[in-house]
Chains A and B, each alone.
Chain A
Amino acid sequence: MSAPVSSLDMLGRQFDFWWALYRRTFRGNVVSSFFFPLFNALAMGVLLGGYVKVDPARLEGATSYLAFVVPGLLAGNAMMTGFGDASYPVVGALKWDRTYYAMQASPLRVRDIVNGHLGLMAFRFLVASSVFVLVLAPFGVFATWWGALGAVVVGVFVGLAFALPMYALSARLGEETWFTLLWRVGVMPLFLFSGAFFPLSNLSPPLSALAKLMPLWHGVDLARMLCLDTWDGPQALLHIGYLGALSVVFYLVSVRELERRLQH
Chain B
Amino acid sequence: MSRNRQTGWLVSGNVSDAPREATDQDNSGELGSPEGSMVHARGLHKSFGDFEAVKGIDFDVRRGECFGFLGPNGAGKSSTMRMIGAISPVSSGTLRMLGMDPATHGSQIRAKLGVCPQEDSLDAELNVSENLFVYGRYFGLPRAPLRLKVAEMLEFVQLTDKAKSKVSELSGGMKRRLSIARSLINDPQLLLLDEPTTGLDPQARHLLWDGIYRLKQAGVTVVLTTHYMDEAEQLCDRLVVMDDGRIVAQGTPRDLIAHHSTREVAELRFPVGDQQRYADQVADLAERIEVLPDRVLLYTADGDHAVAQVHARGIATETAMVRRSSLEDVFLHLTGRSLVD
CB distance from B34 to the nearest CB of A (A): 16
Residues from chain A with Cβ under 8 Å of B137 in the complex: 13-17
Q: C-beta contact mask, B61-91 vs A, less than 8 Å → 1, else 0? A: 0000000000000000000000001011100
Stretch binding the partner chain, chosen from B99-107, B221-229, B236-244, B256-264: B99-107
Residues from chain B with Cβ under 8 Å of A4 in the complex: 107-108
Q: How far is the CA of A24 from the CA of B134 in the complex (A)?
A: 15
Asked if B209 is at the interface (CB within 8 A of a chain A CB), the reply is no
Asked if A204 is at the interface (CB within 8 A of a chain B CB), the reply is no
Q: Is the CB of B108 within 8 A of A107?
A: yes
Q: Is the CB of A106 within 8 A of B108?
A: no
Task: Give the residue name and chain of the A residue nearest to B134 (CB).
Answer: A17
Q: Is the CB of B107 within 8 A of A263?
A: no
Residues from chain A with Cβ under 8 Å of B60 in the complex: none
Residues from chain B with Cβ under 8 Å of A97 in the complex: 121, 123-125
Interface size on A, residues (CB 8 A): 28
Asked if A264 is at the interface (CB within 8 A of a chain B CB), the reply is yes
Q: Which of B110, B121, B133 contacts A99 (CB 8 A)?
A: B121
Q: How far is the CA of A106 from the CA of B125 in the complex (A)?
A: 20
Tell me the chain B residues, 107-128 only, with Cβ under 8 Å from chain A. 107-108, 110-111, 113, 115, 117, 119-126
Q: How far is the CA of A5 from the CA of B115 in the complex (A)?
A: 20
Q: How far is the CA of A107 from the CA of B102 in the complex (A)?
A: 12
Task: Give the residue name and chain of the B residue nearest to A96 (CB).
Answer: B124
Asked if B8 is at the interface (CB within 8 A of a chain A CB), the reply is no
Q: Is the CB of B89 within 8 A of A263?
A: yes
Q: Is the CB of A1 within 8 A of B100?
A: yes
Asked if B93 is at the interface (CB within 8 A of a chain A CB), the reply is no
Residues from chain B with Cβ under 8 Å of A262 in the complex: 87
CB distance from A113 to the nearest CB of B (A): 10
CB distance from B133 to the nearest CB of A (A): 7
Q: How far is the CA of A99 from the CA of B123 in the complex (A)?
A: 7
CB distance from B122 to the nearest CB of A (A): 7
Residues from chain A with Cβ under 8 Å of B100 in the complex: 1
Q: Which of B117, B120, B135 contacts A106 (CB 8 A)?
A: B135
Residues from chain A with Cβ under 8 Å of B125 in the complex: 21, 24, 97
Q: C-beta contact mask, B23-47 vs A, less than 8 Å → 1, else 0? A: 0000001100000000000000000
Q: C-beta contact mask, B129-146 vs A, less than 8 Å → 1, else 0? A: 010011101111001000
Residues from chain A with Cβ under 8 Å of B139 in the complex: 13, 106-107
Q: Is the CB of A2 within 8 A of B108?
A: yes
Q: How far is the CA of A5 from the CA of B130 in the complex (A)?
A: 24
Residues from chain A with Cβ under 8 Å of B119 in the complex: 98, 101
Q: How far is the CA of A97 from the CA of B125 in the complex (A)?
A: 9
Q: C-beta contact mask, A82-108 vs B, less than 8 Å → 1, else 0? A: 000000000000000111011111111
Residues from chain A with Cβ under 8 Å of B135 in the complex: 102, 106
Query: What are 24 A-B interface contacts by the 8 Å CB criterion?
Result: A1-B29, A2-B111, A4-B108, A9-B140, A13-B138, A15-B137, A16-B133, A17-B123, A20-B130, A97-B121, A97-B123, A101-B117, A101-B121, A102-B123, A103-B138, A105-B115, A107-B108, A107-B110, A107-B111, A107-B140, A108-B107, A263-B88, A264-B48, A264-B88
**CB-CB nearest 4 A-B residue pairs:** A106-B138, A102-B121, A98-B121, A17-B134
* A interface list, Cβ under 8 A from B: 1-2, 4-5, 9, 13-17, 20-21, 24, 97-99, 101-109, 262-264
Q: A107-B108, A107-B111 are in contact. List 17 more A-B contacts (CB 8 A).
A: A5-B140, A13-B137, A14-B138, A16-B143, A97-B124, A97-B125, A98-B120, A98-B121, A99-B121, A99-B123, A101-B119, A102-B122, A102-B123, A108-B107, A109-B106, A262-B87, A263-B87
